[in-house]
Amino acid sequence: VNSLVILDGDLKETGKITNIAPGERVYSVRFMGDTAYFVTFRQVDPLFSVDVSDPHNPKIIGALKIPGFSNYLFPYGDGKLLGLGRNADEYTGRTGSIKLSMFDISDPANVTESDKTDVNADYSAALYNHKAVLCDYNKNIISFAAYGYTANQTLYVYSYENGKFIIRLAEELGIDESIVRPLYIGNIFYIVSEDEVKYFDINTFEKIGSIILK
């Protein structure tokens, strides 16, 4: 079973919720002000919202159940929460491709999935390492590298516009590139890997050049 426990400044328990989602495992958590969000998974993805404004009496106020799960949750502007994870069969729980979800959390008691998109990939370091993700609401950039059974590692850049995910870049990388990090400095977007640094115009994502490191 899963629990949410609140401690005071002396690490003494003040309140808790127990027996949450029996038989499921917590995949991601995000605390935002007086609300906590967390995802559990067995066959479908319950995204729970919890009112933690009263540390003595936390309350689950909402639960959105959709197929799959989110390993990574990130605030994306007012009233939005980005989820990055996997699709899954809602009947068997068998996991599938990577997916992006945008949740509308303007009403924490009634969270909805505004949009989702499937990524043509099966694995990504972003699923277990937050440093592998570039998520910047002000620049409207969601970027990470991923790869599949039959595809080389690819660096993806998405934006979220008018309620929809838009793919901006899908730059294929070398098959042996195990560590890839997206970043930007000023108006230049970089893809840094073990063997090469590629750089692009951040507004158009047209490639400017590259530097071979080995």
Q: Average pLDDT for residues 179-187, to the nearest whole number?
A: 95
**Taking 60 as the threshold, does the pLDDT of residue 200 lie above it?**
yes
| pLDDT reported for residue 102 | 96
Query: Which among 195, 125, 126, 123 is positioned nearest to 152, based on CA atoms?
Result: 123
* Average pLDDT for the chain: 90
Segment 121-162, tens digit of pLDDT: 888 999 889 999 999 999 999 999 998 876 788 999 999 999
pTM, full prediction: 0.86
Least confident of 31-40, 45-54, 150-159, 172-181: 172-181
Q: Which residues of 128-142 are buried (b: 16+ CB within 10 A; e: fewer)?
A: eeeebbbbeeeeebb
| pLDDT reported for residue 159 | 97
In single-letter form, the type of residue at position 22 comes to P
Most confident of 21-25, 38-42, 165-169: 165-169
Confidence of residue 67 (pLDDT cuts 50, 70, 90): confident
| pLDDT reported for residue 213 | 84
Q: Average pLDDT for residues 66-77, to the nearest whole number?
A: 86
- CA separation (Å) from 131 to 72, 143, 145? 11, 11, 11
| pLDDT reported for residue 150 | 66
**Taking 90 as the threshold, does the pLDDT of residue 30 lie above it?**
yes
Least confident of 33-37, 101-105, 123-127: 123-127
